[in-house]
Amino acid sequence: MKENSNLIRVYSGTELTVNLLKDELAIFGISSMIQNDFNSGVSAGFSGGGPSSVDLFILELDLGKAESIISEFIATNS
């Protein structure tokens, strides 16, 4: 990910579905970042979030390219 770029949350779901979408975006050259507050909290000794609240972020400048991929992913995984 590039420094000084705005990250935007594009999807929230289970760890499995977030990882599947991350892999799908990578096929099209779109970098993404996963934020899992639950696992981070457990590792640090406190609880934050829930096991199904995993967020996926991409660079704001990639949003136009990613929108159709995300929409199709949601449609086929709902």
- Per residue in 41-77, pLDDT (tens digit) is 444 444 555 556 899 999 999 999 999 999 999 999 8
Alpha helices by DSSP H, listed for 13-77, are 15-27, 37-44, 63-76
Q: Give mean pLDDT, residues 25-36.
A: 96
> How many Å apart are CA 60 and CA 55, to the nearest integer?
15
**What CATH architecture does domain 7-76 belong to?**
2-Layer Sandwich (3.30)
pTM: 0.77
Q: Where are the domains of the chain?
A: 7-76
pLDDT the model gives residue 78: 74
> How many Å apart are CA 21 and CA 77, to the nearest integer?
10
pLDDT the model gives residue 2: 55
